């Protein structure tokens, strides 16, 4: 068991890492903000029960945040634009090792580009060289599903059963992407 002073230092460190105010932590732990402040300054000798409730509250809040799309997503995602040449988008996919990309128009999701869709066009008799000169919008499929950053992991799992990716959108603009591998 850790000494009490180490536990108390860890409480403050974890609270700050979770971007919680003392009042928010106190509410989550069922205690007062002044008790949390005194505890963090070393001005009170807390009971075991108080420390336990605060530590458990930090664990609950931390687990909840880690399980949301905003924490799981890949930031700075790669995308294609509807009017760019398909060849440019395919080169970016190949360079990054991606099999699909979201298609955005000024940051707003409007479709998706996938190797599968391209293969279908080739199987239908389309010439690859001619396809590469066409704009992405001529080959793109439906947009990937979109969620907000607070979407919990179970909802992401359900969406990813049917889609290759989920776009995380804030105020109408894509801020990240969640794929199956991000769930592990």
**Residue ranges covered by each domain of the chain:** 4-66, 70-183
* 139 Cβ neighbours under 8 A, 6+ residues apart: 86, 113, 117, 118, 121, 131
The CATH architecture annotation of domain 70-183 reads Roll (3.10)
pLDDT by 10s per residue, the chain, length 184: 556 777 777 888 888 877 789 999 999 999 999 999 998 888 888 888 888 899 898 888 876 666 889 989 999 899 999 999 999 999 999 999 999 999 999 989 999 999 988 999 999 999 999 999 999 999 999 999 999 999 988 899 999 999 999 999 999 889 999 999 888 8
What topology is assigned to 4-66 in CATH? 434 Repressor (Amino-terminal Domain) (1.10.260)
Write down the pTM of the prediction.
0.64
- The pLDDT of residue 131 is 93
Which CA distances in Å does 111 have to 53, 62, 107?
A: 47, 34, 12
Measured on CA atoms in the order 160, 166, 168, 172, is the torsion positive or negative? negative
Which CA distances in Å does 167 have to 10, 69, 74?
A: 34, 9, 10
| 21: helix, strand or coil | coil
- The pLDDT of residue 59 is 84
* 69-88 as b/e: b if 16+ CB within 10 A: bbbbbeeebebbbbeebbee
Nearest C-alpha neighbor of 171 from the set 76, 107, 94, 91: 107
Q: Which two tokens stand for residue 141?
A: 């499929």
CA distance 180 to 123: 28
* 15 Cβ neighbours under 8 A, 6+ residues apart: 22, 25, 36, 40, 58
- The pLDDT of residue 158 is 92
Q: What is the dihedral of CA 141, 145, 146, 151, to 10 degrees?
A: -160
Each as own residue / partner, the long-range contacts of residues 39-42 (CB below 8 Å, 24 or more positions apart, any chain) are 39/8, 39/11, 40/8, 40/11, 40/12, 40/15, 42/5, 42/8
């Amino acid at each position: 068991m850790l000494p009490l002073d180490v536990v108390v230092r860890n409480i403050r460190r974890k609270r700050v890492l979770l971007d919680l105010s003392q009042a928010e932590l106190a509410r989550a732990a069922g205690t007062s903000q002044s008790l949390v402040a005194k505890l963090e300054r070393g001005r009170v000798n807390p009971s075991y029960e108080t420390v336990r409730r605060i530590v458990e509250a930090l664990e609950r809040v931390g687990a909840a945040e880690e399980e949301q799309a905003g924490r799981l997503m890949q930031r700075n995602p790669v995308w294609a634009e509807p009017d760019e040449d398909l060849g440019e988008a395919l080169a970016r996919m190949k360079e990054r090792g991606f099999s699909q990309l979201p298609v955005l128009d000024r940051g707003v999701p409007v479709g998706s580009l996938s190797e599968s869709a391209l293969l279908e066009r080739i199987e239908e008799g389309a010439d690859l060289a001619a396809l590469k000169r066409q704009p992405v919008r001529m080959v793109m499929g439906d947009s990937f599903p979109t969620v907000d950053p607070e979407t919990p992991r179970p909802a992401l799992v359900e969406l990813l059963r049917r889609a290759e990716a989920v776009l995380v959108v804030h105020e109408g603009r894509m801020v990240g992407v969640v794929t199956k591998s991000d769930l592990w």
